[in-house]
């Protein structure tokens, strides 16, 4: 057994490195020439791209392959994606996709019992961005129309999402809002010229946007984890947006945070 500091490696690396053509789209069942005979795949992309599976044709049980990101953009390995054939899928730690930053890498082991590529890297720790934490604040007459949190632009922050795959929102609510009131996080990668919700939902009413919190209860409310939109994996401006108020109720907040992992 070989150890490389990120857990046990159950197979030896093989063959000479390969450098396939640049990946220019999200890719299923990725099968570059020479894959089964190499120990190192040097990958380059034209933007953040997702690989949902890696061909297992010709691969033996316990075979190890390292992926090096030699390009300028992150590469995401999707966890258990149905877009690739079952035998080509990745099983990632924590049941979430794994993002390989530029000039970084990851090692995979093929497990023929479960017919999956298994990542040996540990998931990175989560990062929390504090949107507000200065005592009780009231959103007076929260409107029905989609509006930035508190109706101001001063509660934004910059966040490095390059290595993140998922996000969730936590609000500490001191006073509940109207029955249909919702808040969800958004991002901008062009200095606030345009905005999307962090899961890629178009700007507008919160609706079904991921990472949303309903304001009908008080206390510490945390959304479910949701998958980040591809273009959001950058250094982005973050903000919260709400909709569904009744123009009368005044929800109050102690704190608001966006956590990414």
Other Cβ atoms closer than 10 A to 141: 12
pLDDT band, residue 76 (cuts 50/70/90): very high
pLDDT band at 234 (very low <50, low <70, confident <90, very high): confident
Q: How many domains does the chain have?
A: 2
Position 25 pLDDT exceeds 90 = yes
pLDDT of residue 8: 38
Do both 103 and 147 map to the same domain?
no
Report the candidate in 76, 72, 73 with the shortest Cα–Cα distance to residue 52. 76
**Banded model confidence at residue 14, pLDDT cuts 50, 70, 90:** low
**Same domain membership, residue 100 and residue 53:** yes
Residue 185 shares a structural domain with residue 227: yes
Neighbours of 38 (CB within 10 A): 19
Shared domain for 222 and 106, answered yes or no, is no
Domain co-membership, 48 together with 136: no
Do 135 and 214 lie in one domain? The reply is yes
Identify the H or E element spanning 166. Answer: strand 166-175
Q: Which residue has better confidence, 143 or 48?
A: 143
- Reported confidence tier of residue 112, pLDDT bands at 50, 70, 90: very high
pLDDT in tens, 158-172: 998 887 889 999 999
Same domain, 181 and 203: yes
Domain shared by 131 and 113, yes or no:
no
Shared-domain flag, residues 113 and 136:
no
Same domain, 54 and 12: yes
175 lies in the same domain as 102 = no
Average pLDDT over residues 82-111: 93
Q: Quick one: 60 and 169 in the same domain?
A: no
Q: What is the pLDDT of residues 114-158, one digit of tens each?
A: 999 999 877 677 899 999 988 899 999 999 999 999 999 999 999
How many Cα neighbours within 13 Å face the side chain of 45?
Answer: 20
Domain extent at residue 256 = 127-260
């Amino acid at each position: 057994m070989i150890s490389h500091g990120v857990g046990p490696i159950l197979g030896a690396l093989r063959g000479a490195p390969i450098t396939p053509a640049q990946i220019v789209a999200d890719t299923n069942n990725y099968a570059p020439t020479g894959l089964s005979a190499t120990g190192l795949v040097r990958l380059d992309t034209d933007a953040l791209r997702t690989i949902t599976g890696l061909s297992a044709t010709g691969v033996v049980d316990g075979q190890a392959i390292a992926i090096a990101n030699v390009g300028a953009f992150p590469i995401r390995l999707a966890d258990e994606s149905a877009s690739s054939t079952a035998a080509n899928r990745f099983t990632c730690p924590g049941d979430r996709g794994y993002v390989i930053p530029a000039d970084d890498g990851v090692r995979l082991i093929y497990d023929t019992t479960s017919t999956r590529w298994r990542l040996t890297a540990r998931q990175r720790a989560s990062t929390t961005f504090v949107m507000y934490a200065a005592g009780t604040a009231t959103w007076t007459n929260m409107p029905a129309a989609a509006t930035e949190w508190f109706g101001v632009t001063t509660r934004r922050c910059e966040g490095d999402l390059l290595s993140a795959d998922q996000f969730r929102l936590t609000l500490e609510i001191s006073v509940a809002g109207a029955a249909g009131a919702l808040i969800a996080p958004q991002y901008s990668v062009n200095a606030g010229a345009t905005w999307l919700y962090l899961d890629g939902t178009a700007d507008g009413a919160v609706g079904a946007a991921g990472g949303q919190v309903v304001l009908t209860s008080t206390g510490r409310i945390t959304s479910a984890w949701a998958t980040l939109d591809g273009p959001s994996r950058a250094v982005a401006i973050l903000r919260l947006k709400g909709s569904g108020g009744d123009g009368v109720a005044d929800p109050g907040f102690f704190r608001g945070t966006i956590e990414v992992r």
